[in-house]
Chains A and B, each alone.
Chain A
Amino acid sequence: VRVGIGLPSTVPGAPGDSIVAWAKRAEDARFTSLGVLDRIVYQSYEPFVTLAAAAAVTSRIGLVTMVVIAPIRSTALLAKQAASLDAISGGRLTLGVSIGARADDYEATQTEARFRGRRLSEQLATFRAQWEEEAIGPPPVRPDGPTLLVGGSSGEAFARMARHADGYVHGGGPPRAFAGAVAKARAAWSDLGRPGKPQLWGQGYFALGDDAAVQTGADYLRDYYAFTGPFAEKIAAANLVSPGAVQEFVRGYADAGCDEVVLLPTVASVDQVDRLAQALA
């Protein structure tokens, strides 16, 4: 399994220059990708702007959105941003998309949440056509455009993934939950008549260091996931806070067939990159 690391772009208070420093450090530490989350109504950085900054200071590391909430964006603009980022980074973009989980992001962007699944399916069909026809450029680095991943846990999401995308991106949880989603992703892939295998991407949160770091990480997750009600406590409790927990998590994902797992920070200080690299060494 390949291991990527998230940028601290959704951790409130992360200084702008720390994003760039983090990206460089992650490439030096040989992580395979830099991941970003997407949220509008929060003290967080925009995913494409963040990854563009990261692209400018790196040359090998993959850039992945996990995920971009596509239905709240204009399809043409999103196709344009993705094509631009892909071209600027030399074809390093993996575009993960989903419908998201929060009503406030839809309200703030004045987009309708109803039929958002249907809209996402339309968008997925449209991106590829737009890239291919080169109507909305720059031309993608690879003929078919960036690798597309789809997230979500409903039957509709798995079908959408199998119909339009190259693989599945999971929304987080213990390896057992990931394995359950993998079985469905594979079943959908086969049911939709796709040859070969879907790419399988996972994610998890970590905070490594002293008690203060662990506490900061847990506080962040409680705040970030406050919209889920009592579930936020569970997400905070599942934060990977020791090298052993990180290793066990990565091993569990590998056993479940994961191609690439991206570990997302809950503490914004750049030493988290080194701590994670050490935990995995």
Chain B
Amino acid sequence: MNEPKDTLPEEVIDELLAPLRGIDCPDEVRRANHRAIELAFARRLRTPWWRRTVSVPLPLAIAASVMVMATILALLWPAENGSKVVDAHGPQRSATAVNQERPVWSVSRSYILSIESLSRMENSFRPDSKDKRNDS
């Protein structure tokens, strides 16, 4: 193998690291591993059902969420659409019907404004009222 001089060839490394491959697992470690597995099983059994998780394939998860979104939209859509339908009949309705739907405050306001304008008109037709007061 053509190795640069400053690196160790793989064969040499293989040979060098061979003693590390001889490291074997002591019995103490074996016992600890078995204990860890038993503990993990016990922990899993103790977990209440509402905290357990299941793995779901991603396409299935996406499809389920899209269906939920579609259902929510389908439930909300008729309500919004219905209000638009009522508005669509607007131009065809009579003026009285439109007036009936106007808020009460606007009717009262126009009524008050008309009274004010009438009173102004009345004052303008009585130019001598001030003079009479002065005379007396």
Q: Does A associate with B in a complex?
A: no
- Residues of chain B touching chain A, judged by Cβ–Cβ distance below 8 Å, are none
